[in-house]
Chains A and B, each alone.
Chain A
Amino acid sequence: MKRGSGRVAFLVFLVVLGLSSPARADMLDVKRSVLANGLTVLHVERHTLPLVEVVLLVKSGVVQEPAEKAGLANLTAALLTEGTESRTATEISEQLAFIGAQLDVEASYDFTRASLSVLRKDVRRGFEILSDVLLHPTFPDEEVARKISLIGGSLQQSEEQPGFLVMRAFRSRVYGKNPYGRLVRGSRETLGDITRKDVRDFYSTWYRPDNAILVVVGDLDREELGKLVDTYLDGWQRAPLPPPVREPMPPEERKVVLIDRDLAQANIAVGHKAVRRIDPDYYALRVMNYVLGGGGFASRLMETIRDRMGLAYSVYSSLAAYKDDGHFVVQVQTKNSSAGTVIEEIVRQIEAMKDKGITGEELEEAKAYLIGSFPRRIDTMGKMARFLSLVEFYGLGLDYPDRYKELIGSVTLDDVRAAARKYLHPAEAVFVVVARQSEAKVSPEAIEKAP
């Protein structure tokens, strides 16, 4: 039945392929096409292993769910593999396991991603199951209830993890009511209010081919892929999508959060909002962040707090970049009694970065690393498929791997200093300390007075 219409759609697929000029990236020969139903398809042939990696990215996630139903995007993603019109939850997991395939569906803030790893010999079966869970999920009531209770339980268990407590508090203060301020899993309260109908509606609104990207990397040629796409994704219908809404961000101000737990270490996060992924300043910030705390053993924070002071095992800064404003954060764990000293040192290092920027040698080292490490970001088929799905999602262009060298390479000392001055502002940062507070003795007043 579905097979019948396959041939026609396959022709369309080929035509579209022919029309779109296949953009050739330096290291990646990526073929891009858009199907009649609006699905964007990226394909890279790799014959190094009898293996195919498939990523299906749906351009909706936490941002598209209502605040009072927080956790809906994640729940919907998790339920795709828990029952379809022709398969029960158990049949899906058994059939995937029987061919040794892995299928994971995961929601995040801006998007939801299904990743399938399957041996070449079973690729047809893999595609068939992927398309079944994507196009025909039924969200059975008992599976909805089961999943809600499992996610609720995992949220409860997370309460015993200091790293979770620190970042939950950090997010909620940095982003306030913006969706980025929530947890992907939602909360036990909001989960309890989600119904099967909510899931069904979220699914049918957003899981549409014209709101999705398919990336296939592996031991599969163009013609074989064309046939699979035809047979299994042709029946996916487009539908009008609601207009995008940009949720407001709260004003930036200093907030100090102290959470008391019976712990041996103070878990600390210091940071604030930063830039969107597509902001032109993103690359200068990446260089700045590498020198300050992103560069592993080579970073300034590691050099002082770990190597010189011996106060932490792990200390680093990171930049989270999203469709909308992301954040900059320093994270560290130190024995309770050192919490104050470590916070002071972090602030001192951030201030020094704003004041003096970085040295010429640091600039060269950072660029050399950021450019030289690029091949490692795509050194397996799975990594390549996930990378390409992001390149397409953020609209970076298929020539991005080429341009990346230039984007990082052209960053100057002045760019880094300007970015540090523009985006680093410890005076309006969020400070979170989860610790045995009687020993940590970090008073909000002390943080106010920090340099």
Chain B
Amino acid sequence: MLTRTAALFLVLFVFAPFKVYPEVVQRTLPNGLQVLMAEDHKSPLAVFQIWYRVGSMDESFGKTGLSHVLEHMMFKGTKKYGSKEFSRTIQRYGGTDNAFTSMDSTVYFQILPSEHLDLSLKFESDRMANLLLREEDFQAERAVVMEERRLRLEDDPQSSLYEETEAAAFRVHPYHWPVIGWMPDLAHLKLEDLKQYYRTHYTPNNAFIVVVGDIDPDALFKEIEKYFGSIKPSPPPEDRISQEPPLDGERRVYLDREAELPYVVAAYHVPTLLDEDGYALDVLSTILGGGRSGRLYRSLIYEQKVALNVFADYGGLHRDPYLFTIGGTVAPGASDAALEKALYAEVERLKEEPVSDFELAKAKNQIEADFIMRQDSIFSQAMTIGRFHLLKDWRLKDRYVENIRAVTAEDVRRVARKYFDRDKRTVGILIPEARQAQEDGKGKEGR
């Protein structure tokens, strides 16, 4: 029983949806550098990101970790600006800067008062072309990266298991190795490797810029042109074609580690979001792993009490096809076998019964709300634009919600049947080793 006003309102709402994301303005410099800009004036800030299309997937056997070590070296200065001068200057203006490397890209960013955006342009353009790579800096920074590896991987049993599982899932494709690299490879990298890698991949035609915030795109683009326009393009790096052959049977990896509870990861090979199955896989991951109303939480944690925490993740935003992973930490008193069995039961259920209208709508609402909520942060906005652009084209983000909305229950069942095959999965299991030092440790504690 809608009143006339309410009905009118509803109609308006349907036909004039709130514009939730600012328009992206795209320009390209003659040297091939693409620039994506979006205005958002809610605070006097801007985020500047430069995305290089280079990540661990572009490395080669024996030289793993190169992309990430180079990312560290990018903070070590140029002829013009000394080591760390960039970060110090940005911070002096209230900003912050950092970088991250993934399998698919290396991204440098600053978040700062928009009136000081010229700092980003000045420094980023300089280090795109004029990085100093000095032996002494390299030696110290390699040691830092080794500490990072110890911190993130070696002393974190669940991350170690993930690394092992990924390595088993990919034998041919370079997703086989971890972004941070294998320790022996790190030890053997040479400064010359970095120099060559830098020359090959840090070129304007292998990068794109994303700026979101309190900006005027026309004026900003002129400035960008001034700073980046004179950098010469290079022949594009060779496109590496590497396809993981289909698995011909289940692969299993066990890792014995000093840990408290077993942990299970099951990984299935899936296409990227560009594939016609991508959006259905995205919806499926929310049906399984979407918070406390997700199926994995409901079944494994709440009802069966075999898990302490669970996850389902569709890695659809990679340059090459990656993995759909599900798993969790085994609850005290339960077994990894029980958790694994419960995981597969949920997967089988998806293949058998179509999801209900309510559950499908719920998953879509969650994805849509999350998508809108993320727009509140200029950094997340820039990440969304960048990730879609790395995949293919930032315009995909404007159709994202629409594409999610179009997924049917039958699509979900179809992709579950197509990809979640027992013979095509890789399973990793962390087996806790009894802690040798426990009693000693307790004895020594205190003084």
Contact = CB atoms under 8 A, between A and B. Distances in A.
A256 B147 contact: no
B188 interface: no
A309 B146 CA distance: 13
Interface stretch (B123-131, B360-368, B383-391): B360-368
A334 B150 CA distance: 9
A74 B92 CA distance: 39
Contacts of B88: 297-298, 365
B373 A51 contact: yes
A444 B369 contact: no
A284 interface: no
Nearest to B86: A297
Interface string B288-320: 001111000010011001001100000000000
Interface in B128-178: 139-148, 150-151, 154-157
B12 interface: no
B54 interface: no
B369 A100 contact: yes
B95 interface: yes
Contact of B258 (A149, A160, A258, A437): A160
B94 interface: yes
Given A160-B258, A259-B444, A150 B44 contact: no
A192 interface: no
Contacts of A154: 308-309
A175 to B, nearest CB: 15
Interface string B347-384: 00000000000100110011111101101111000000
B45 A376 contact: yes
Interface stretch (A4-12, A60-68, A91-99, A220-228): A91-99
Nearest to A447: B447
Interface stretch (B233-241, B337-345, B434-442): B434-442
A157 B308 contact: yes
Contact of A160 (B157, B291, B298): B157
B332 A156 contact: yes
B96 A376 contact: yes
B261 A265 contact: no
Given A150-B308, A261-B258, A311-B143, A48 B42 contact: yes
Contact of B365 (A49, A100, A263): A100
A3 interface: no
A156 B261 contact: yes
A307 interface: yes
Given A48-B42, A153-B261, A333-B147, A298 B84 contact: yes
Contacts of A334: 147
A90 B298 contact: yes
A368 interface: yes
Nearest to A437: B444
Interface in B211-270: 258-261
A152 B293 CA distance: 22
A310 interface: yes
Contacts of B402: none
A101 interface: yes
B372 A50 contact: yes
A298 B139 CA distance: 21
B75 A99 contact: no
Interface stretch (A127-135, A317-325, A378-386, A396-404): A378-386
B87 interface: yes
Interface string B68-80: 0000000100000
Interface of A: 46, 48-51, 89-90, 93-94, 96-102, 117, 119, 121, 146, 149-150, 152-154, 156-157, 159-162, 169, 255-265, 267, 295-298, 303, 306-314, 333-335, 365, 368-369, 371-376, 378-382, 437, 444
8 contacts: A90-B298, A149-B332, A154-B309, A298-B91, A310-B142, A369-B91, A375-B113, A379-B43
Given A149-B305, A313-B148, 7 more contacts: A49-B376, A50-B18, A121-B13, A150-B331, A365-B91, A376-B96, A379-B377
Give me the 9 closest cross-chain CB pairs, A-B, nearest first: A372-B94, A100-B369, A310-B143, A313-B148, A310-B140, A97-B293, A297-B87, A93-B292, A260-B441
